[in-house]
Amino acid sequence: MAAMTDESFSGDVASQPAIRLRGIRNAFGTQVVHDQLDLDVRRGEVLGVVGGSGTGKSVLLRTIIGLQIPAAGEIELLGERIEAGRGEMPTRKLQGRFGMMFQDGALFSSLTVAQNIMAPMRERGGIPKLLMRELALLKINMVGLPPNAADKFPSQLSGGMRKRASLARALALDPQVVFLDEPTAGLDPIGASNFDMLIRDLQSSLNLTVVMVTHDLDSLVAICDRIAVLLDKQVTVGTMQELVANPHPWIQEYFHGPRARAAFETPGLKG
Partner 1 sequence: MGFSGTGDVPGDNHHADRFIPVSLDWGEQDVAAAVETSLSITEAGGELRVGIAGPLTVEAAARLDRQFRQAVKASPRQVVIDAAEVTALDSAGAWVLRRTSEAFSGRGIDVRLDGLQSEFEALLEKAFIPDPDVPTDEDRPNPLIVITARAGKAMFDMAHVGRDLFGFFGLTIVSLLALLTGRTKLRFVALVSQLEYVGLNAVGIVALLCFLVGVVLAYMGSLQLERFGAAILTVNLVGVSVLREIGVLLTAIIVAGRSGSAFTAQIGTMKVNQEVDALETLGLSPVDVLVIPRLIALFIALPILVFIGDIAGLAGGAMISVLTLDLTIQQFLTQLRGAVDFWDFGTGMLKAPVFAYVIAVVGCHQGLKVSGSAESVGFRTTKAVVESIFIVIVLDALFAVFFAEIGI
Select from 130, 241, 247, 268 the one that contacts partner 1 (CB under 8 A).
Answer: 130
Q: Does 13 bind partner 1 (CB under 8 A)?
A: yes
* 10 lines the binding site for partner 1 (CB under 8 A): no
Asked if 92 interacts with partner 1 (CB under 8 A), we say no
CB of 79 to partner 1, least distance (A): 5
Q: Which amino acid is at 178?
A: V
Beta strands across the sheet bearing 234-238: 98-101, 177-181, 209-213, 46-50, 226-231, 234-238
Q: How far is the CB of 64 from partner 1 (least distance, A)?
A: 17
Taking CB under 8 A as the rule, which mask of x and - marks residues 196-235 in contact with partner 1? --------xxx-----------------------------
The verdict on 133 binding partner 1 (CB under 8 A) reads yes
Q: Could you tell me which stretch among 24-32, 34-42, 135-143, 187-195 binds partner 1 (CB under 8 A)? A: 135-143
The footprint of partner 1 on residues 108-127 (CB under 8 A) is 109-110, 121, 124, 126-127
Buried b vs exposed e over 86-121: b needs ≥16 C-beta within 10 Å?
eeeebeeeebbbbbbbbeebebeeeebbbbbbbbbb
Q: Does residue 148 belong to the site contacting partner 1 (CB under 8 A)?
A: yes
106 sits near partner 1 (criterion: CB under 8 A): no
Binders of partner 1 among residues 27 to 86 (CB under 8 A) are 78-80
Q: Which stretch binds partner 1 (CB under 8 A): 62-70, 150-158, 159-167, 191-199?
A: 150-158
Nearest 5°: phi and psi at 158?
Answer: -80, 170
Measured CA to CA, the distance from residue 93 to residue 75 in angstroms comes to 16
E strands present in 132-259: 177-181, 209-213, 226-231, 234-238
* 71 CB neighbour count, 10 Å cutoff: 15
Q: How far apart are CA 138 and CA 67, in angstroms?
A: 29
124, containing H or E segment: helix 113-124
Contacting residue, 83, 104, 134, 253, with partner 1 by CB under 8 A? 134
What is the pattern of x (binds partner 1, CB under 8 A) and - over residues 161-180?
----------x-xx------
Q: Angle CA(269)–CA(253)–CA(241) in degrees, nearest 5?
A: 35
CA end-to-end span of the chain:
43
Q: Which is nearer to partner 1, 37 or 171 (CB)?
A: 171
Helix (H, G, I), strand (E, B) or coil at 239: coil
Residues that bind partner 1 (CB under 8 A): 1-2, 4, 9, 13, 78-80, 93, 96-97, 109-110, 121, 124, 126-131, 133-135, 137-139, 141-142, 147-148, 150-151, 153-155, 171, 173-174, 204-206
